[in-house]
Amino acid sequence: MSLEVIGAGFGRTGTNSLKLALEQLGFGPCHHMFEVRDNPEQLPAWVAASSGETVDWNQIFRGYRSQVDGPGARYWQELSEIFPDAKVILSVRDPNSWFDSLRATIVPFINARGKHDDDLTNARAEMAYGTIVSSIFNNCIDDRDHVIRVYEDHIAKVTSTIPEARLLTFDVSEGWGPLCNFLGVKVPDTPFPRSNSSQEFVKRVF
């Protein structure tokens, strides 16, 4: 099994809802940061990747049909080359509301590294710092203008790199239609999943 869908969107762009949607459409299991939380044996490989070491992406995503959110989204370009037949979904949302959500959820978790109640959670926070704050945002996650500029530059890079036929730029508020059309599957009779609001994130993580 190899990846059929690569998620290039940053965390807090509806990635958990997208994960649930992909799994409902038959593209599961879908890898998400929560997979690293729930499967601690995955952590060493992601720590190695965040440290710049060469990793076996086929092994990391063994058993998964799709991937969204961090830490995988950080490596969207490498994954798009390793899995050339996979389609790419760039999840997006309004930049300012995205920043506000980031600051309310992921940032406090990362900033508490070394202060969480257990070593495993601290190790995940350190990995997230290396993968997200250091690698993507150049160690600055507090400046709204800087962070939003990086976010918008990321969108521009993905859309200019991935061929149009292979890429869907997707806001989860659009629902099933664009996603199902892109993947060539039937629209389900059930509502599009809505999951992991900022409040839910805080409850789940803290």
Copy the structure tokens of residue 112. 């508490």
DSSP letter (8 states) at residue 80: H
The predicted-structure confidence for 147-164, as pLDDT tens digits, reads as follows 999 999 999 999 999 999
- pLDDT of residue 202 exceeding 50: no
Using 50, 70 and 90 to split pLDDT, how confident is the model at 198?
A: very low
Cis status of the peptide bond prior to 71, with omega within 30 of 0: yes
Average pLDDT of 42-65? Answer: 96
pLDDT at 190: 96
DSSP 110-149: HHTTTTSSSHHHHHHHHHHIIIIIITTTTT--S-HHHHHH
Q: What is the largest CA-CA distance in the chain?
A: 46
The range of the structural domain enclosing residue 15 comes to 5-205
pLDDT at 69: 97
- Number of separate domains in the chain: 1
Report phi then psi at 173, rounded to 5.
-65, -15
CATH, residue 97: 3.40.50.300
Q: Kindly give, in sequence order, each residue whose CB lies less than 8 Å from that of residue 102, ignoring residues fewer than 6 positions away.
A: 10, 11, 12, 141, 147
Instruction: Tell me the pTM.
Output: 0.93
Average pLDDT of 62-86? Answer: 97
